[in-house]
Amino acid sequence: MASLSDKLASNVNFSAISKAEDLQKRIWFTLGILIVYRLGTFIPLPGIDANIMGEIFAQNANGIIGMFDMFAGGALSRMTIFALNIMPYISASIIMQLCTAVFPSLGALKKEGESGYRKINQYTRYLTVFITILQGYGIAVGLEALTSSTGASAVINPGWMFRFTTVVSLLGGTMFIVWLGDQITSRGIGNGSSLIITVGIISGMPGAVAQTLELTRVGQISPFILLLLVLMAIALIFIVVMVERAQRRIVIQYPKRQMGGRMYSGESSHLPLKINPTGVIPPIFASSLLLLPMTVFNLSASGDNAPEWMSAVTSFLSHGQPLYLILYAGLIIFFAFFYAAVVFNPEDTAENLKKHGGFIAGIRPGKSTADYLDFVMTRLLVVGALYLAALCVLPEILIFKFSVPFVLGGTTLLIVVSVTIDLVSQVQSHLIAHQYEGLIRKAKLKGHLK
């Protein structure tokens, strides 16, 4: 017999949003924050010649800089205060999660509940400031070394004052984006950081489609290749939706219980384990570790006085090259296993099942249950990690070969589709809660009339 929540979920549609006032406020608040973010991507850094910067970026648009600019929503090509986007915060989150696994004192904070989470979040922000200052200074030095084809510098007045203002502007922009993401998560709907990255990607999609059609019109891309790209995008969306919603359900049995003078029969439930429990985190983490250092390195190597070895390393690690693809796939697989170990602890799950009297048929409670859950999760992670690596890397090879914009690649489609699925799920959860509240109010009213 279907439960009430299942019935409500099957009847949920977006027309019910008009009746859920709290959900409407959250949606409008989220849209307002995202508009503020997009406006910030057009505020330029002080002391930058926009015309020369645009010419220099056009020369490097097919490399690491172009891919990072895609995640930044065009803020890097315009060299705005949001040029670093939220990537320093993601890098800091990676480091803090590694530290919680290495240092027992930080690991103990995670077990303290909300207070421990606040302390870790505070440390993450301090680390974000430090990383942003380093990266901002690297970008400032790299900008001073940039020159156009005519020899003109992208910086109007190079020097320590320019470096200071650049670091302060980038630091303020990055921390403001972090604050905007927190506001979306707490007062809006969806995950703030993921939505900000997704909006940056979506903002570049119309231009990428127009550029691809223009390449087809001038004959650089054949109609057959264009059709192949369209079919590939549709296939990727189908695969992402299918895998992200797939689950391995482990049946949990509960023994008979006696309450008062009545005996209740045993119940059964299930423990859902996703094939890809990490979502879009591994590609974002891998991109953050690769793109931000390489962007600073690439800017420094673009100058006339750059050493030859720096240019050689930059070419080997440029987007689409074998070494870059190998590192990218390796980082995705590593973070898939690492982040899964952070979010899912078989020992804690087995202990909670034991406390509540639940058990898996044929498996002894305690350590045997933990070992079984770890075995199942490891097998799922092998499939999930390979799926993520193939989804993000294989389309990039085809796109790089035919000079198609990065925004049409597997990584971007994975992020956009996964975040959209999560957003729709949260909207449905709010609608179900709203319908529950309506049912409770009706029940109270009938009871009052009686």
Q: Which residue has the tokens 């008009």?
A: 18
Set out the domains of the chain in order of their start, with CATH numbers.
Answer: 4-449 (1.10.3370.10)
Whether residue 248 has pLDDT greater than 60: yes
Spatial CA neighbour of 423 closest among 106, 226, 184:
184
The per-residue pLDDT for 62 is: 55
Tens-place pLDDT, residues 400-419: 666 666 566 677 888 888 88
Cα separation, 66 vs 139, in Å, equals 15
Whether residue 175 has pLDDT greater than 80: yes
* Residues in CB range of 196: below 8 A, 6 or more apart: 34, 37, 85, 86, 177, 180, 181, 184
Helix (H, G, I), strand (E, B) or coil at 293: helix
Tens-place pLDDT, residues 290-327: 766 666 666 555 555 556 666 666 666 666 677 888 88
The per-residue pLDDT for 313 is: 66
Q: What percent of the chain has pLDDT over 70?
A: 76
Cα 248 to Cα 270, 273, 274, 363, 381: the distances in Å are 9, 5, 6, 17, 12
- Supply 422's token pair: 């999560």
Phi then psi for residue 424, to 5 deg, are -65, -40
- Supply 291's token pair: 């793109």
Helix (H, G, I), strand (E, B) or coil at 418: helix
Helix (H, G, I), strand (E, B) or coil at 80: strand
Spatial CA neighbour of 299 closest among 144, 69, 173, 159:
144
Q: Are 68 and 76 in contact (CB under 8 A)?
A: yes
